[in-house]
Structure formats: structure tokens, C-alpha cells
A and B are shown apart, each in its own frame.
Chain A
Amino acid sequence: MRPDEIDGVLRDALQHEVAEAAPRLAELEERIVTELGDRLPRPRFVDWVRSLAASTRPGRVGQLAVLGATAAIFLVVGMSITQDRLDGPTLTPTFAPMAASRASQGVQFSVSVPSAERVAVVGDFNAWEEMPLSDEDGDGTWTASIPLSPGRYEYAFVIDGRWWGQDPSADEYVRTFGQYSSVRYVGGGGDGV
């Protein structure tokens, strides 16, 4: 057998072994994560995408309904109402933590944009994938509550497709790729939480 043939055989054998071991390794990772417990407090953005991928499964519909109802209650109770006074979008976000669990807090994102047709929040907590805000009573205040573990989070609002990254009540701002994003510290030294 020539050396290049041996390489091919070895590569095939390795790939086969990896494929065979994958399910066991997945369980191993799960066990380790479980044992680590709260030593890994921050949500990983892939978890968000995973939840998106899983959201089409029929079994999740009930869970989503419960979560949606809970979020709606929080929104109705916690939403601050602000009237718009300027021509452009008037941003008066609130960022009030609501105790949900020890591991994470429901963080409220709110922006008053009466003229908007569609408002979303993007951030590193949702892999910068648009999460729509709602304005159920039509007063122009768009709101969403997102459970976040302690940490530093960058985010921006997307108002009718336009990036809006300078939330006045943010702890700080960063400017990357030529546009601003807001930053909030949850559960730490930030001003808002």
C-alpha cells in the first residue's frame, strides 16, 4: 500500500470514528455542563439560534404559548408609557430588570416610536437576529422583555429597517462597522440595573 493510500484509509477511519463517537460526546458535553452548573452563567448566542431552530417543533408550541402569555403579563404591568413629541423617533427606552430567576433577569427594552410600523431589538444576546417589539395598545411604545443572565450586552433597535444604536439610557456605547450600538450591564456595575 502506497503512503498516499494509507493517508486516505486513515482519514476515512478517523472520520468514521468521529461520526460514531459524536452522540456519546454530545452526552458528555451535556453532563459536564450540568455539573458545572452556575459556573457558566452567560447565555451563548447559539442557544438563541437553537431555540429558533427548535421553535418549529410542534412540542414547543405549548411552551411558547405559556412564555408568550407570561411575557405579555410582564409587558402590560411593566410597560412605561411615553408620548412622542418630536418629528423623528423619540427614544425613551426603559431597561428595568424584573426578577425571573436567580440565573437570569427579564430585561425590558422599550422605545417610543409612534410613527413606526415595525420595531425590533437586535443584540449579542440574540445573535443580532431581529426580535420584534410589540405595541399592543397602539400608544406608540414598543416593548419586549428578554431574560438575560448577568453580563455585558450590546444591542440596537431596528426601526422600520433602520439601525438605531444610541439608546439614551444605555450604560455606554460602542462604534463598530461605522455604526453605534448601545451597551447595558446586567447584574453588575451598570447604572440601570
Chain B
Amino acid sequence: MNRRTKRLPAAGIVLVALLAAVVGAIAEVPLDEFDRALRAMPLETHDRILAAIDAHLSSPGFPADELYALIERLATTVGPTAEKEAILLMLMRALESELSLDGFLPAGHDLAGAIEEGLSIEGIVLEALKGIAQRSPTAVIVAGITRRLTLLRDVRDLLFSREIFRTSIGSTQAAPTALPAARFDELVVQIADAISDYLEGGGSPFDGAALYELVAVRLRRLPEAVVRPEDVDLVLDRIGPPDLTSVALNALS
């Protein structure tokens, strides 16, 4: 009797552990669910992304729930499929490089939020892919994503404040300062990218003249198929070195 009462708590613990294991197994997102969520977008690289998930799904510590949540968010995010796919490709490349997704998933949500704002994030993802290719630490890559997102928003707002506007897709250009969406977005991307490269290369944000010169050179060297000369003239006429210093300082803060 005494031995039986001693065994009861032990059996209870084993039972609870088994139940926890079963519940845990049920709570994990199965590959079929990832498949279904990815198909909702749909993606050209669906098979490759799914294969990367499949290869890591059973790995200890794999953040399946968090990854699934991001995929579900992207599936319902209004925006270009290519940009949503870019985020998933970044995660896939991180997985293939045996990097932990822990840092990339919050960045993925930030990028998804940027898509919802109408920002073009392809260049930011490309920078992240470069960081992965260079085997940079995850924290450095993610910090780069955050900084470039800040720059993208601030440059967009700077242009707005200088009355350079983005017309909606499909509408005609009503005024010289109301640029079609693609042209406006390309300007924002190129200026933000130039500032980011300047800062990451060790340039001082307080040297507004050097920063302005670098942005001007970058924009003027771009082929007309990418950025029109009249758009470059417009933006360089309306922004100055102090504006760029302010944007750069905010990105570093």
C-alpha cells in the first residue's frame, strides 16, 4: 500500500509529461499548414521556401509558430507579391546559411509593415541578403534593416515636406512635382540607399555637404531608365545638405 502511494505521484508526473509532449506536438505547425499559407500568396519560389522550412521544422528551437504567423500576415498584406516573396526569401536564405530566425522574424514583421505603408523594400532585403552572403552577424544585418527602413520613411517624408508627391498607380501626372508612383518610389529608394551607404562607410552625418554631393552624384549617374534627369533636378533643387544631415542623424539615433 505504501509502495503504491509512492508510485502514484511518479505515475502522475509521467502522465503529465506525456500529455505535455502530446499537446506540444499538436501545437507545432505542421508542414501542410505552411504549404497552405504559402499557397495563399502565391509564390514562384513556393517549393524552395517550403523545402527550407521542411528541413528545419523538426530542429530544436525552430520558431515554427512565429514563422507561420509572419507568413499568415504576409498572405493577408496588401502589396506587391514580389516584395512579400522577398521577405520570405531572406528568411529562407538565413535558414540555408544555418542562421537563427529569431532576429530575422521581427525584422520580417517590420518589413511587412513597410509594405503595408506602400514603401518599396526590395533594396533593403537585397542588403540583408548581401549581409547573409558576407556571413555578417544576424544582429548587424537586422540593425541594417532597421536603419534602412527608417531612412526610407524619412526620405519619403522629406520629399513630401518639399511638396514632391507620389500619385496613385494609374493616375496621370497632374503637376511636375506630383510624380508617378514608380518614379517617386525609385527616387526615395536611391536617396535612402545612398545615405545608408555613406553612413555605413563611415561618413559623418554632420558633413551635410559631402552627403549631399554623394546623393547628387549617385542620382546623376543612374541611367535615365531608372531615374529621369528632370526628377533628379527637381529633388536636388528642393532638398539641401541640412535636410540630409537631419535624416542621417535620425537614422543613427
Point out residues on A near B: beta carbons under 8 Å.
14-15, 18-19, 22-23, 25-26, 29, 38-42, 44-46, 49-50, 52-54, 122, 124, 127-130, 149-152, 154, 163, 171, 174-179, 181, 185-190
Residue pair A175, B202 in contact (C-beta under 8 Å) = yes
Residue pair A188, B223 in contact (C-beta under 8 Å) = yes
Instruction: Write the nearest CB–CB distance from A65 to chain B, whole angstroms.
Output: 22
Residue pair B223, A53 in contact (C-beta under 8 Å) = no
In the bound complex, what is the Cα–Cα distance between A54 and B46 (angstroms)? 11
Whether B140 is near chain A, meaning CB under 8 Å from some CB there, is yes
Whether B44 is near chain A, meaning CB under 8 Å from some CB there, is yes
Residue pair B200, A176 in contact (C-beta under 8 Å) = yes
Q: Which residues of B contact A14 (CB under 8 A)?
A: 76
Q: Which residues of A contact B44 (CB under 8 A)?
A: 46, 49-50, 53-54
Residue pair A189, B81 in contact (C-beta under 8 Å) = no
In the bound complex, what is the Cα–Cα distance between A128 and B123 (angstroms)? 12
Instruction: Write the nearest CB–CB distance from B138 to chain A, whole angstroms.
Output: 11
Nearest residue, chain A, Cβ from B48? A53
Q: Which residues of B contact A188 (CB under 8 A)?
A: 221-224, 226
Contact A128 B126, CB 8 Å, known A46-B44, A46-B89, A49-B89: yes
Residue pair B81, A19 in contact (C-beta under 8 Å) = no
Instruction: Write the nearest CB–CB distance from B222 to chain A, whole angstroms.
Output: 6
Residue pair A174, B226 in contact (C-beta under 8 Å) = no
Q: Which residues of B contact A178 (CB under 8 A)?
A: 134, 136
Whether B197 is near chain A, meaning CB under 8 Å from some CB there, is yes
Residue pair A150, B223 in contact (C-beta under 8 Å) = yes
Q: Which 3 A-B pairs have the closest CB atoms?
A: A188-B223, A150-B223, A128-B133
Q: Which residues of B contact A18 (CB under 8 A)?
A: 40, 75-76
Q: Contact partner of A41 among B36, B122, B220, B226, CB < 8 A?
A: B226
Residue pair B225, A187 in contact (C-beta under 8 Å) = yes
Residue pair A174, B197 in contact (C-beta under 8 Å) = yes
Residue of A22, A42, A127 contacting most chain B CB atoms (<10 Å): A127
User: 1/0 per position for B83-120, CB-CB distance to A under 8 A?
Assistant: 00110010001000000000000000000000000000
Nearest residue, chain B, Cβ from A161? B135
Per DSSP, chain B at the interface is helix
Instruction: Write the nearest CB–CB distance from A36 to chain B, whole angstroms.
Output: 8
Residues 128-150 of B at the A interface (beta carbon under 8 Å) = 129-134, 136, 140-141, 144
Q: Contact partner of B40 among A19, A124, A189, CB < 8 A?
A: A19
In the bound complex, what is the Cα–Cα distance between A151 and B224 (angstroms)? 9
Whether B9 is near chain A, meaning CB under 8 Å from some CB there, is no
Residue pair A175, B182 in contact (C-beta under 8 Å) = no
Q: Contact partner of A151 among B86, B141, B197, B223, CB < 8 A?
A: B223
Can you list 10 pairs linking A and B with CB atoms under 8 Å apart? A18-B40, A22-B39, A23-B42, A25-B81, A38-B225, A49-B48, A127-B89, A151-B226, A177-B136, A177-B200
Residue pair A177, B140 in contact (C-beta under 8 Å) = yes
Q: Contact partner of B225 among A23, A150, A175, CB < 8 A?
A: A150
Instruction: Write the nearest CB–CB distance from B243 to chain A, whole angstroms.
Output: 22
Contact A19 B39, CB 8 Å, known A42-B226, A46-B85, A175-B202: yes
Instruction: Write the nearest CB–CB distance from A58 to chain B, whole angstroms.
Output: 15
Q: Which residues of A contact B130 (CB under 8 A)?
A: 122, 124, 128, 154, 176-177, 181
Contact A29 B81, CB 8 Å, known A22-B40, A189-B221: yes
In the bound complex, what is the Cα–Cα distance between A154 and B200 (angstroms)? 15
Q: Which residues of A contact B125 (CB under 8 A)?
A: 45
Q: Which residues of A contact B133 (CB under 8 A)?
A: 122, 128-130
In the bound complex, what is the Cα–Cα distance between A186 and B224 (angstroms)? 11
Whether B45 is near chain A, meaning CB under 8 Å from some CB there, is yes
Contact A50 B226, CB 8 Å, known A175-B201, A176-B131: no
Residue pair A15, B226 in contact (C-beta under 8 Å) = no
